A and B are shown apart, each in its own frame.
Chain A
């Protein structure tokens, strides 16, 4: 039996002024999917994510959340773009409670406990009062992940979360995601440039270039899209030498 559907994306198009950013996109997201959303710069990856999140209005088509929209999000740009932003790890993770709490002026004891529990889960309990700008890139991404996880999301969308990380931190971060996907059945949509790095993690690839060019498994993607600019420039391990010529 297939996993239940979280969201139906039906024939959506998105425009920036007169410029068409996405054209007639159609797919479903099922619970437990680990989707790699790939495409070259300007192919509409972030726009699709923003449309799913309700941050960008769609020009036509329909997005239907089967059990209501409950999405966590790691955006490409945050206050962390300013290294001196004065926020502690605790303060950042606690903002994940806002959706549930509404316009609350302060958090209760139970809320604080929840945040601390989440920090413990990510091995960051000792960093609660540390300023987020003083952490490494990998640790910062884990804090942002904890912020989303405290919401108990059905779907987690991550916009190029590993682009600024070194190889070691990138692998560590992806392993944390894989663990959440496998153990908590968390549905993940990961926007990335780096196809090779998600080969071992994602079970589904959405390949975008304004249109949805491919939707299927990683293996099938490599077989059916050998001449895409993606495979050519990012050559994953799966594509054997000589096969892509």
Chain B
């Protein structure tokens, strides 16, 4: 199994084979950054201001087309779609952020430890990693929803844990690379402990791949949150979330397709933004570093 992941990673890195420009990945970073920045801005703005209250229902205003009062019209409960779209950015970003943090908090120490103790416990740690990796994040989220019921919290935890084996694998190989460098060998020879190695040498040198991994992880988490909300196991009402908007708009697709298209486009743009950003950052930091999608 580990071989497979390696093969996949090889391809990922092989992708970056365009003639190197001086500022590698600049265009991708810029485009991705603008898209992600827009979404983040939407979420931040919605914290202090939305055109209307995104949860305010109004029976007489249901399913209206665009107007001065409702720029993008209203949904089946008469809520302002523009406001819901703005506020709906919060949940995907929150889930993405927490899931990525969880995956890093678990995956980074795990991966470094597995690398440092390579020939001994490290092998068994990676076997365990393989086992966890057999549970796709979305499946894990569904299991937790079966036990506790679906919520934003179970989604974040499950997606974070589900993504951690990928992080651990990337961190391990990055760490192995660092440990084979002369300065690390020297530090080892000087009798420095594993904690010193990890903090002084490994972490600063795998910073790049961590940032890339986190960016790509963000895209995956946003997609998974949307899928969970669509399945009714994610964010419950009344909190606006794009996935929920999609699910609620589904029954109105024949009547008002925009109810599906708006949140759908928002999700797609967010994922696109993070993916482009991830690709650009990968070019920037190290084209031959292993990163798992």
A and B: bona fide binding partners: no
